[in-house]
A and B are shown apart, each in its own frame.
Chain A
Amino acid sequence: MIPVPPRRVLVYTIPIALLLFVLPFVVAPYQVALLTYGLTFAIAALGFNLLLGYTGLLSFGHSAYFGMGAYGVAFIVKYFKISSMEAFILGGIVAATAVAALFGFVCVRYTRIFFGILTLALSQVIWSLAFKFFWVTGGTDGLRVPTPSLLGVGMAPGQDKMAFLAHRYYYYVLVIFLVGVAVMWVIVHSPFGKALQAIRDNETRAEFVGVQVRRYRYMAFLVSGVYTGLAGALWVPLNGLTTPDILHWTFSGKIVFFTVLGGFQTFFGPIIGAVVFNYLETYAVGHTVYWQLVLGVVLVFLVLALPGGIVGTAGRVLDRLRKAA
């Protein structure tokens, strides 16, 4: 990847960010809430793609960190009776990072298919525990999470929950999302980020320029876990409930899905992919019981026909138009 100068990135991103800020005044609350879901998934995708796109590791176990983010929040509610969003975020990130620290330590010894299977098997440990220890986790019923206070300010008495989610909560998530994007952008363009890409391209040579491959993979794994945990923590108040479904490995599959949908070889691809996937899934679920079929067909088509994903393909089309002009 040839780096794009920051100034040119800002030319594209600032108008989009501004657009996102005025959105609640333009579209219906339901649409805004939907986008909020999309943004939380996008944060997970950013974290996931640090591993896939930049380090060359395909994790099939990221449901564990997303889920730990969500359950971390639910435990704070259950055991500490706190409903401050800042505490939620802290709890979610701590829970997800703890698990990522443990699993990552084991997983970074492997690459390719073994890395995928190992991350998957370990994530299923968490799923089965959440599933079976129902007196802690609520089992398949899950745990409820109330609408939190944001920066100490709770929901006004009598306020409609949807209005809250589509307005104040949306802005809260949006700000965190934008900061998260900026930080990740810096990380992938930092010397550390270059070292990760070097590992992805050529592990042996990376070792021979002095990069300690395993240690760097582990650091990438941790950062990835923090992002995915943050995403889970932001997602759960939207959903109001966390169930073992988000810990199941098929949820990891969805994270892989939307990252590839957007294009994992680009920085912004996974963000677009997550938002688009969320619309696609919501639309499919709303219109047919056979929504998995719809998603499956889209995925198969994508892999066969558009391996660059949305952003990768759009980039190639733009290049071709520019050359033709």
Chain B
Amino acid sequence: MDTFLIHLLNSLLYASVLFLIAGGLSLIYGVMRIINLAHGNIYAVGAYATAWAVGRLLGGAPVVLLYAILPVGALAAAALGAVLEPTLLRPLYKRAEEYQLLITFGLLLILEDLIRVVWGPYPLSASSLFEAPGSLTIGETIYPTYNLVVIVVGGLAAAALWAFVYKTKFGVILRATSQNMRMASALGVNVNRVYVQAFTLGCFMAGLGGAIIVPQQGAVLGMGPDALILAFVVVVVGGLGSLEGALLGALMVGVVREVGISLFPEIELAVLYLMAAIVLLIRPAGLFGRA
């Protein structure tokens, strides 16, 4: 029972972060029909910015203050998004998809090295935040309390996002634009503004994912592209452009990965990718996708 609970918590922990990354990717695709291959790097920027602020900038500050600056990564990622959309992506909306994918691949290469330029080649850590809340005992196992923080933040973020998209006026505009960009434009929606807002929000989510996981895992080079692929698995399973799908996909990937790590560690990743391929075969648009 206790092992089950621990596995469940681990799955949820992983799913929370994955939901934030994949939810952002999916939101951006839903509104703008662009797959951002640099999305994983945005997540990495969130992780690095938080680790830098917590570990280097304010190393000796009280823990409470450190928790308060945790979201700095999310803000950094959002700011980056707000700059990138109008400068790099906007000129490409009328061009073929190939070019949109390629420019985000170029962005991936650039961000990968910019992170190295800004924060150096060595891993950054924010482990003081991970250690501060201590741990609790589940049965006979010791479990880090911080993991629960991540799960709660992930859950809150999902709820906040749902409320944002379904209960606010901005959410209505966002959904209208994603359903029919021309119609929304004809009805007086400023599509350019919606795009930059959606992209910024998507980046904010990825950055938040990086910010909350970095105390537990640290920030390393290459974390972005790896996370992107897992986010792909999530959105493919759940359906591109669907937030509910991203949530379900993240939970499925979280569980399968946790089961995989304990039962068949060699092929854990392969199983995830195969899961994505199988879902695509059976339901091309994903479980929650619109064809």
Contacts and interface: CB of A to CB of B under 8 A. Distances in A.
A239 interface: no
Contacts of A122: 273, 277
Given A132-B267, A293-B113, A300-B110, A256 B105 contact: yes
A257 to B, nearest CB: 7
Report which residue of A128, A256, A257 has the largest number of chain B beta carbons within 10 angstroms of its beta carbon. A128
A110 interface: yes
A296 B107 contact: yes
A290 B117 contact: yes
B269 A58 contact: no
B266 A132 contact: yes
Contacts of A125: 269-270, 273-274, 277
Contacts of A295: 106, 109
B259 interface: no
Interface in A108-134: 109-110, 112-114, 116-118, 120-122, 124-125, 128-129, 131-133
Nearest to A119: B277
B88 A290 contact: no
Contact of A114 (B99, B109, B113, B284): B284
B267 A296 contact: no
A246 B267 CA distance: 19
B218 to A, nearest CB: 19
Interface in B63-113: 88, 91-92, 95, 97-99, 101-103, 105-113
Interface stretch (B191-199, B201-209, B228-236): B228-236
Contacts of A116: 35, 101
Interface in A229-278: 249-250, 253, 256-257, 260, 264
B229 A106 contact: no
A106 B269 CA distance: 19
B114 interface: yes
Interface string B107-135: 11111111011000100000000000000
A110 B285 CA distance: 10
A121 B277 contact: yes
Nearest to B111: A296
B225 interface: yes
Nearest to A128: B269
B281 interface: yes
B31 interface: no
A25 to B, nearest CB: 37
A52 interface: yes
A253 B108 CA distance: 10
A121 B232 contact: yes
A297 B114 CA distance: 11
Interface in A293-307: 293, 295-300, 302-304, 307
Report, as a range, how many residues of chain B touch the other chain: 35 or more
B28 to A, nearest CB: 13
A163 B219 CA distance: 44
Contacts of B108: 250, 253, 296
A282 interface: no
A113 B281 contact: no
B97 A58 contact: yes
Contact of B105 (A52, A253, A304): A253
Contacts of B232: 117, 120-121
A289 interface: yes
B273 A121 contact: yes
A258 to B, nearest CB: 11
A296 B106 contact: yes
Contact of A110 (B92, B97, B106, B284): B284
A293 B106 CA distance: 9
A303 B110 contact: no
B273 A303 contact: no
Nearest to A118: B280
B276 interface: yes
Contacts of B284: 109-110, 114
Given A110-B284, A249-B229, A250-B225, A296 B99 contact: no
A112 to B, nearest CB: 6
B117 A304 contact: no
Interface in B238-277: 240, 265-270, 273-274, 276-277
A291 B98 CA distance: 23
Interface of B: 35, 37, 88, 91-92, 95, 97-99, 101-103, 105-114, 116-117, 121, 225, 229, 232-233, 236, 240, 265-270, 273-274, 276-277, 280-281, 284
Given A60-B101, A253-B105, A256-B105, 8 more contacts: A109-B284, A110-B284, A112-B97, A114-B284, A121-B233, A253-B108, A299-B109, A304-B92
Q: Which 10 A-B pairs have the closest CB atoms?
A: A296-B109, A299-B106, A128-B269, A296-B110, A293-B113, A300-B106, A292-B109, A125-B273, A132-B266, A292-B113
8 contacts: A118-B236, A121-B236, A131-B269, A290-B117, A293-B114, A297-B110, A300-B110, A303-B102
Interface of A: 52, 58, 60, 106, 109-110, 112-114, 116-118, 120-122, 124-125, 128-129, 131-133, 249-250, 253, 256-257, 260, 264, 289-293, 295-300, 302-304, 307
